[in-house]
Amino acid sequence: MIHVISASNRHLYQDAIEQHFKIRHEIFVEERGWKTLERPDGREMDQYDDDDTIYLLAMDEGKVVGGHRLYPTTKPTMIDEIFPHLAAVSGCPSAPDIWEWSRYFIVPAQRDSDLNLRLMAAVQEFGLDEGISQVSAVIEMWWMPRFQQAGFALKPLGVPALIENAWTIATLIDINESALWTVQQMVGKASVLKRHGPQRRHVAHSERLRSSPVERLLLA
């Protein structure tokens, strides 16, 4: 199952979160060669890993096997701060119902399985549950047919540019019932998420943390 982890339930997932930072280092720094993200402690984390980050992690018998993360666009994002030139046509998205999607990975042993489709279904299912209408993402162009095959509608925010030798584009991806339905048909499952507690809890928790420093202290 794919677990939703936010500040509201992170205390239940300390081990999974730690595993995932190490796996991210192995995959993004060592395999993909994104050397800017290299860290001596072997944990890949950046400025978009904080109390407002929501992780969707696929777990198999206690082991993290894949995942991705979401970050509120009401805060400075990767598109704003690092890749604004990719959003030169439409501007950088910033709205409570748009979240930035990044760090999509599957451990090598689980690639070329249905996990990829389940991870795609997870972003649609979670987004619909939590009132997210779009996710923004900086993607290499080879993602475009993958998303289109899964029924996702994408809108480019600008023109592609070469980043680390890969043609890359900033996009907005719609979260909607139609995309969820298409990808669920491909997965052959109605739900891929493991839920603890009520729906609409994770985004609302993050919004409360951001709205009040006192609440931040009380909820910490």
4 contacts 202 by C-beta, under 8 angstroms: yes
Token pair belonging to 106: 């599957």
> In this chain, which of 9, 10, 17, 37 binds ligand SAM, going by CB under 6 A?
37
The C-alpha atoms of residue 79 and residue 89 are separated, in whole angstroms, by 13
> In this chain, which of 104, 118, 134, 175 binds ligand A1S, going by CB under 6 A?
104
Decide: helix, strand or coil at residue 84. helix
The verdict on 82 binding ligand SAM (CB under 6 A) reads yes
Q: How far is the CB of 108 from ligand A1S (least distance, A)?
A: 8
Stretch that binds ligand SAM, among 125-133, 160-168, 176-184, 197-205 (CB under 6 A): 160-168
Identify the CA nearest to 43 among candidates 30, 59, 32, 62.
30
> In this chain, which of 35, 39, 63, 111 binds ligand A1S, going by CB under 6 A?
111
Nearer to ligand A1S, 126 or 143 (CB): 143
The C-alpha atoms of residue 127 and residue 111 are separated, in whole angstroms, by 24
Nearer to ligand SAM, 69 or 205 (CB): 69
Q: How far is the CB of 103 from ligand A1S (least distance, A)?
A: 6
Q: Which string of x and - marks every residue 99-128 that binds ligand SAM (by CB under 6 A)?
A: ---xx-------------------------
53 contacts 72 by C-beta, under 8 angstroms: no
The C-alpha atoms of residue 5 and residue 57 are separated, in whole angstroms, by 8
The verdict on 55 binding ligand A1S (CB under 6 A) reads no
| Count of C-beta atoms within a 10 Å radius of residue 128 | 16
- End-to-end C-alpha distance for the chain, whole angstroms: 27
DSSP secondary structure, 131-167, as one string: T--EEEEEEETTHHHHHHHTT--EEESS--EEETTEE
- Show contacts with ligand A1S in window 135-174 (CB under 6 A): 137, 139, 142-143
Residues that bind ligand SAM (CB under 6 A): 34, 36-37, 46-47, 78, 82, 102-103, 138-139, 163-164, 168
Residues that bind ligand A1S (CB under 6 A): 27, 31-32, 68, 101-106, 111-112, 116, 137, 139, 142-143
